[in-house]
A = this chain, B = another copy of it.
Amino acid sequence: MKQTDDHLIETKVGSEALLKGRFLQAYRDSVRLPDGSLGSREYLVHPGAVMVVPILSDADADWRVVLERQFRYPMGRVMIEFPAGKLDPGEHSLACAQRELMEETGYRASQWARAGVLHPVVSYSTEFIDIWFARDLTAGDRKLDVGEFLEVFSASVSELLQWCHTGLVTDAKTLTGALWLQNIQSGSWPLTWQTVTAPAGTA
């Protein structure tokens, strides 16, 4: 590889708002390409999100995790996914993870570990998804948003991996969660757990 990335980097020349929807915010930027020519890039601006992999039981060799079934309108069908949701303005990533886990599944967790981050669409959205693992779960009431309908269930990691293999699970963040789970369960990718008893980011 070359020593700098000057032969790859694109720089902003100008920007125009294309769409200010209720949910989608799109822009078209004029960019200077690496060869000096001009191009344009259209993309969505997204506030960022979190995903939670809730570990229900890690006593046996085959752990159990909490999953959701949710109708996804652009897909036209029900998808199997880990709990996830967008960051509220100014919200800390862990606070969002706690909130989404509780709202969507009713579970509260006293142990949390941040595994990393994923970028679902590098070509046309600024979205990032922080990947959180949660354990030591306590069941409670959930508080779904208005217009949110989803079903909560649990599965073993081996079931989840089988569903990733057969194509029952195709959601990219959930496939990424499965990659982490497989390597955490095997001991290859150890997590650093923190005990969190109060909502984060409210001190």
Contact = CB atoms under 8 A, between A and B. Distances in A.
Interface of A: 1-2, 5, 7-10, 18-19, 21-24, 26, 28-29, 31, 33-35, 37, 39-44, 69-75, 78-79, 81, 116-128, 147, 149-151, 153, 161, 164-165, 167, 170-173, 175-176, 178-179, 182-183, 188-189
Question: Do most interface residues of chain A lie in helix, strand or loop, or is the interface mixed?
Answer: mixed
A1 B153 contact: yes
A8 B78 CA distance: 8
A118 to B, nearest CB: 5
B24 A151 contact: no
A195 B1 CA distance: 32
A164 to B, nearest CB: 7
Contact of A149 (B7, B26, B70, B189): B7
B71 A118 contact: no
Contacts of A179: 164, 175-176, 178-179, 182
Given A43-B74, A74-B125, 9 more contacts: A7-B151, A9-B71, A18-B19, A18-B21, A19-B24, A74-B124, A118-B175, A120-B172, A172-B172
Contacts of A22: 28, 40, 42
A107 to B, nearest CB: 18
Contacts of A39: 147
A126 B28 CA distance: 20
Contacts of A172: 118-121, 172-173, 175-176
Nearest to A117: B170
Contacts of A116: 165, 167, 170
